[in-house]
Amino acid sequence: MKYLLLFGIGVFIFWKIYKGEWGRVKEALKNLNYFWIGISIVLSILSQISRAIRWNMLIRPLGYNPRLGNTFLSIMVLYLVNLIVPRGGEVARCIVLSRSEKIPFTKLVGTVFIERLADLMTLTILSLIFIITQIRILINLYNSIHELKSGISQIFTLKTLIIVILVIILLFAGLFLFRAIIKKNSNKNSSFVLKLRELKRNVVEGIKSIAKLKNKWYFIAHSLLIFILWLFMLYVIFLAYEPTRHLSLWTGIVTFLIGGIVMILPISGGIGVWHLAVSYTLVLYGVSLEDSEIFALVAHSTTNLIYLILGLIAYIWLFTVTGSIFKFSKSS
């Protein structure tokens, strides 16, 4: 229900932005430089190859050597599923790789936890650098978007704070309950307890894979490379669209980071909210609101269209090779 509500809000924002603008959108699409659109697609694919290499680096210390092709295809399934169910792709890619490479699902979950943590840390560091150097831009952005101010005011309320505290308490209570069950039944060999122990052991083993990496700097380099490729994947869209062609790489960095922060929200594909944030960011750099909205639509559609196409191809390919990829194997 939460995801449906957030998705509905995103669709409503999207509709409000582009209502009555489709004539201008069609005209803009005719005048795009599709060479740069093609470059953006290539950079997108390269970023996912880099991500597949990085994921394999975490899996190999567990004693498995998955094929890069299958890891790449599972990541494309990740983006396909994320377009439908926010965060659901993380589970889907583990299921896909577990089926295609016979790797225990729970061990893969541990490696995904490390991978997402690496992404979060990278985005946090880049965002802090951005905030420190561009505090005036952020203030101007906040003051220029009535919807953003209203949304932030509604988020940071006493009711929300209480809910967050209760959720944290419940999470810790669940963790202690889980540990208590394991401890209480430590001398028993019931199948339920054995499965719980195996689940915990496998997930922890997957998380500990970061400590077994042979070349941690190589892992860090790929984490940075992924974000650099994502940045240029967005920036070359500037070059494809006449009203944004004059914008600098720094403007691209600011737009990329603000868009990245917004994408943390659990809304399928960031629809609506990403368009809103990116549009008003470009307005601060002298681009008209109408042109900014069209840029946001082109950039968002290009990225998600290629993920949709490659994700479907990946799913069909893996389905023909491994059978029903969403059916757990015994090793899972």
Does position 236 have pLDDT exceeding 70, yes or no? yes
Q: Rounded to whole angstroms, how far apart are CA atoms 222 and 118? A: 10
pLDDT at 68 over 60: yes
Could you give the C-alpha distances from 246 to 253, 283, 287, in angstroms and in order? 14, 14, 10
Residue 235 pLDDT greater than 50, yes or no: yes
C-alpha 6: how far from chain center: 16
251 or 18: which carries more pLDDT confidence?
251
State the burial class of residue 168 (Cβ atoms within 10 Å of its Cβ: 0-12, 13-18, 19+): exposed
Q: What percent of the chain has pLDDT over 90?
A: 14
Q: What is the pLDDT of residue 226?
A: 92
Eight-state DSSP code of residue 21: -
Q: What is the average pLDDT value for the chain, to the nearest integer?
A: 77
* pLDDT higher than threshold 60 for residue 315: yes
pLDDT value at 278 more than 60: yes
Summarised one tens digit per residue, pLDDT across range 15-60 is 766 676 777 778 878 888 899 999 999 999 999 999 999 999 988 8
Q: CA separation (Å) from 223 to 41, 92, 106, 138, 308?
A: 19, 21, 23, 26, 23
Choice between 135 and 305, residue whose per-residue pLDDT is larger: 305
Amino acid at 7: F
The predicted-structure confidence for 122-147, as pLDDT tens digits, reads as follows 888 877 877 777 677 667 666 655 54
| End-to-end Cα, the chain, rounded Å | 29
Q: What is the pLDDT of residues 150-202, one digit of tens each?
A: 544 554 556 656 766 776 677 677 777 767 766 666 555 556 555 656 566 65
32: CB partners within 8 A, 6+ apart: 240, 241, 298
Max CA distance (Å), the chain: 72
Question: How many percent of the chain have pLDDT more than 70?
Answer: 68
Q: What is the pLDDT of residue 209?
A: 60
Give pLDDT, residue 155: 47
Stretch (H or E) spanning 66:
none
User: What is the reported pLDDT for 45?
Assistant: 92
What is the radius of gyration, based on Cα positions, of the chain? 22
Which of 67-71, 190-194, 257-261 is modeled with the greatest confidence?
67-71
Of 135 and 317, the one with more pLDDT: 317
**How far is the C-alpha of 69 from the C-alpha of 134, rounded, in Å?**
40
Amino acid at site 16: K
Q: State pTM to two decimals.
A: 0.72
- Mean pLDDT over 196-220 rounds to 67
Q: What's the pLDDT at 142?
A: 60
